[in-house]
Amino acid sequence: MAVTTEPTEPTRPAADGEGAEADDRSERDQPPRGRRWGRSLRSRRPRRKGGLQTLERTRLPYGLIAPAAIFMVLIHILPMIGGWILSLKRLNTFTFSQLFGAPWTGLENYRTILFDSDNALHRGFNQALRNTIVYTFWTVGLTLALGLGVALLLNRPIRGQRIIRTLMLTPWVVPSFVMATLWQFMWRSDVGVINDMLVDWTHLLDHRPIWLNGPNSLWAIVIPSVWRGIPLAMLIFLAGLQAIPEELLEAAEMDGAGPFRQFRYVTFPLLRPLFAVQLLFGVIYASYQFAVPYVMMGSNPGPHADLLMTLVVRESFSNNLVGFGAAASTLMMIGMLVWVAIWYGAFRRDLELAR
């Protein structure tokens, strides 16, 4: 019967002939029929949204986003453009008093950073870039791996489950500046508790290593970052684990899959979108890390722990090389865009599945 009452049919039967399923729309449009039907169909959408309120509907969202948008333009967009302009200027100790009026220098700042191998800034940037990549790799990798591990542990039934889950979050609640000062204290070579553990208590090492200086210093910032990052990763993975239907895992078990294969073929594929999102933001935040090395080691963390952000801030503010800082920031941003593009290419399918 639905076939005979096809609405697009030009010669439609009388109203009585319409099916019982005919909705309110056809009732409304009954008196004028025939060709007028098409028009009312076309005008159906705006009508449904309510005649007078159409105006309100189009304006209200703009009013709602206005305060946030104005702030964003003032503190995000304008300064960002300002940053690009500064990166094209020779703004250093000698021209600092001119502020934005400093002389133009074209792409000189970029050239110095990227290609001028005689320049200390070029070497400093390369070193900081290497450190940042190593720091980001280990911090994000370990945080996600351990966060997932802890989430799997906490997803099992255990006595005191709720209190364990809550307590597990505490490292994340400790402010990172407190965390950094605490670890700085624990890393001390002569009387620090970490060396006590490694040397005096467990005899793993026969001498007390120096952590806050030299080659070890990158680990001195990686490990606290991981420690503080695990709770959040765990929390998100745990939410994902709890959303997995029991039946899926039971079905896999029925088919003879052991715990490892269940994880490999059921659990992990379902967690992939969460993994992807955390990887994206984890890499961004780790690459822009500043607080941990700065609080722990001061404005110059030394060649082995100098990250891009500490380098940029030190050169821009302590040495007044604002042009360099702005150019380096722009390069970092371009690097991040490249990372987002790579990430998008790798995880596009997971994002579509998650929708």
Partner 1 sequence: MITRRAVTKLALDALTWLVLALMLAPILYLVLASLQDNLRLSTGEFDLFHPTFEAFQRMWRRVDYTHFLMNSMVISAVAALLATAFASTAGYALARFRFRGSRPYEVSVIGTQLVPGSMFLLPVFLGFIWLQQNTFLRFQDTRTGMVIVYTAFFTPVSIFLMRAFFVAIPRDLEDAARVDGCTHFGAFVRVVLPAAAPGIAATFVYAFLFAFDEVLFASQLTQDDARTLPIGIRLFLGAHSEQYAQLLAAGVVSTLPIMVAFFATQRWLVKGLTAGAVKG
128-187 binders of partner 1 (CB under 8 A):
150, 153-154, 156, 158-159, 164, 166-171, 173-179, 181-183, 185-186
**Residue 37 vs 275, nearer CB to partner 1:** 275
Structural contact between residues 171 and 147, judged by C-beta atoms closer than 8 angstroms: no
Does residue 199 interact with partner 1 by CB under 8 A? no
Show contacts with partner 1 in window 18-47 (CB under 8 A). Answer: none
Does residue 302 interact with partner 1 by CB under 8 A? no
Q: How far is the CB of 326 from partner 1 (least distance, A)?
A: 5
- CA separation for the pair 355, 353 (Å, rounded): 6
Q: Which residue in this structure is represented by tokens 């969202």?
A: 61
Does residue 15 interact with partner 1 by CB under 8 A? no
Does residue 341 interact with partner 1 by CB under 8 A? no
Instruction: Please report how the helices 108-115 and 322-354 are oriented relative to each other, as an axis angle in degrees rounded to 10.
Output: 70
Helix residue ranges, H only, 73-119 = 78-87, 108-115
Q: Which stretch binds partner 1 (CB under 8 A): 41-49, 59-67, 117-125, 136-144?
A: 59-67
Q: How far is the CB of 213 from partner 1 (least distance, A)?
A: 16
Applying CB under 8 A, among 5, 257, 284, 302 the residue interacting with partner 1 is 284
Does residue 219 interact with partner 1 by CB under 8 A? no
Quick note: the x/- pattern for partner 1 over 232-271, rule CB under 8 A, is: x--xx-xxx--x----------------------------
Query: Which residues 6+ apart lie within 8 Å of 18 measured at CB?
Result: 5, 12, 26
Applying CB under 8 A, among 219, 227, 263, 343 the residue interacting with partner 1 is 227
- CA separation for the pair 319, 96 (Å, rounded): 11
**Residue 137 vs 177, nearer CB to partner 1:** 177
**Residue 117 vs 166, nearer CB to partner 1:** 166
Residue type, 86: L
**Residue 114 vs 154, nearer CB to partner 1:** 154
- CA separation for the pair 316, 323 (Å, rounded): 8
Q: How far is the CB of 244 from partner 1 (least distance, A)?
A: 12
Contacts 24+ apart (CB under 8 A), 128-135: 128/306, 128/307, 128/308, 128/310, 128/311, 129/308, 131/218, 131/304, 131/305, 131/306, 131/307, 132/287, 132/289, 132/307, 132/308, 134/218, 135/218, 135/221, 135/222, 135/225, 135/286, 135/289, 135/307
Comparing C-alpha atoms, which of 69, 75, 98 is closest to residue 86? 98
Quick note: the x/- pattern for partner 1 over 66-105, rule CB under 8 A, is: -xxx-xx-xxxxxxx-xx--x------------xx-----
Q: How far is the CB of 99 from partner 1 (least distance, A)?
A: 5
Query: Which residues 6+ apart lie within 8 Å of 17 measured at CB?
Result: 4, 5
Applying CB under 8 A, among 140, 144, 218, 295 the residue interacting with partner 1 is 295
Does residue 212 interact with partner 1 by CB under 8 A? no
**Residue 41 vs 239, nearer CB to partner 1:** 239
**Residue 124 vs 240, nearer CB to partner 1:** 240
Applying CB under 8 A, among 108, 313, 320, 343 the residue interacting with partner 1 is 313
- Residue 344's CB: how many other CB atoms inside 10 A? 12
Size of the site for partner 1 (CB under 8 A): 97
Structural contact between residues 283 and 140, judged by C-beta atoms closer than 8 angstroms: yes
Distance of CA 146 to the CA centre of its chain: 18
**At 43, is the secondary structure helix, strand, or coil?**
coil
Does residue 312 interact with partner 1 by CB under 8 A? yes
Q: Residue 279 has which token pair?
A: 């990887």
